[in-house]
């Protein structure tokens, strides 16, 4: 059974850096695509980007390119989403989700989410 | 403004059939598979329908999906109170090179 375990909630101040994680188990981590999806409070889903852990090939949504960094460490089956300088507008729930085919919109398994709150 | 267009809400009495539409274009729905996600209150989304009309194991057969041209729809036959949730359509968009989601439809059982 595919399981994606995300790191815990974070409260940060504007300008701070942050790296959240998503650990996969129960499947071949390197051969599934791993995506990040943002959901702002009371709003819909936004696809941020995806990584293929086997070769770290990464694609970003133009809306998030340059704003975040997606990475993975296949030795510990973990993917990351990173900010270098948070803004209040980054306050949201962030989900990781896996796709076992190149149909990137077919997100079969989801983590429980990591709540990120950015406030001074 | 979402690339895929869904009605913000839909409702029905228990046992009724409820249908949710998802409208797109040739660069997304018209040329790619549509997937549907269910998000129960306070939980993570869950894949409900994949590749236009396929149900993952464990999804009740009262949920069905269809696609025609640049539109897709999700039908819930025999609505139950536990089906109250937000439903999102999603598809790859060839022009934007993103997974596009609809804005979501909140389903209420009256």
Strands (E), A1-120: 3-6, 10-12, 18-25, 33-39, 45-52, 57-60, 69-73, 78-83, 92-99, 109-110, 114-118
Tokens of A103: 């149909």
pLDDT at B9 over 90: yes
Q: Which of residues 27-66 of B touch A (CB under 8 A)?
A: 32-35, 37, 44-47, 50-51, 56
pLDDT in tens, chain A (120 residues): 999 999 999 999 999 999 999 999 999 999 899 999 999 999 999 999 999 999 999 999 999 999 999 999 999 999 999 999 999 999 999 999 999 888 999 999 999 999 999 999
Asked if pLDDT for residue B38 goes beyond 90, the answer is yes
Q: Which of B98, B35, B107, B108 is nearest to B72 (CA)?
A: B35
In this complex, the residue of B32, B99, B103 whose CB is nearest that of residue A44 is B103
Contact state of B99 with A110 under an 8 Å Cβ cutoff: no
The shortest C-alpha distance from A104 to chain B (Å) reads 7
Q: What pLDDT sits at residue A102?
A: 86
pLDDT tens digits, B82-102? 999 999 999 999 999 999 999
B96 Ramachandran zone, left/alpha/beta (phi>0; psi -120 to 50): alpha
Residue with tokens 């983590």: A111
Beta bridge pairs of residue A72: A79
């Amino acid at each position: 059974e595919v399981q994606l375990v995300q790191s815990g909630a974070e409260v940060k101040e504007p300008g701070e850096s942050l790296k959240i994680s998503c650990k996969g188990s129960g499947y071949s981590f390197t051969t599934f695509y791993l995506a990040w999806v943002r959901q702002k409070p009371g709003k819909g889903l936004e696809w941020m980007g995806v990584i293929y852990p086997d070769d770290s090939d990464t694609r970003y949504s133009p809306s998030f390119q340059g704003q975040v960094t997606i990475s993975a460490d296949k030795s510990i089956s973990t993917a990351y989403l990173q900010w270098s300088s948070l803004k209040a507008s980054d306050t949201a729930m962030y989900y990781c989700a896996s796709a076992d085919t190149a149909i990137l919109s077919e997100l079969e398994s989801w983590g429980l989410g990591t709540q990120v709150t950015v406030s001074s | 403004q979402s690339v895929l267009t869904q009605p913000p809400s839909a409702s029905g009495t228990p046992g009724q059939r409820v249908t949710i539409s998802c409208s797109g274009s040739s660069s997304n729905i018209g040329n790619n598979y549509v997937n549907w996600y269910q998000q129960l209150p306070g939980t993570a989304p869950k894949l409900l329908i994949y590749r236009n009309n396929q149900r993952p194991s464990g999804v009740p057969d009262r949920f069905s999906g269809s696609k025609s041209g640049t539109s897709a729809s999700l039908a819930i036959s025999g609505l139950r109170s536990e089906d109250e949730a937000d439903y999102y359509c999603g598809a790859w968009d060839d022009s934007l090179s993103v997974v596009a989601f609809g804005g979501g439809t909140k389903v209420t059982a009256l």
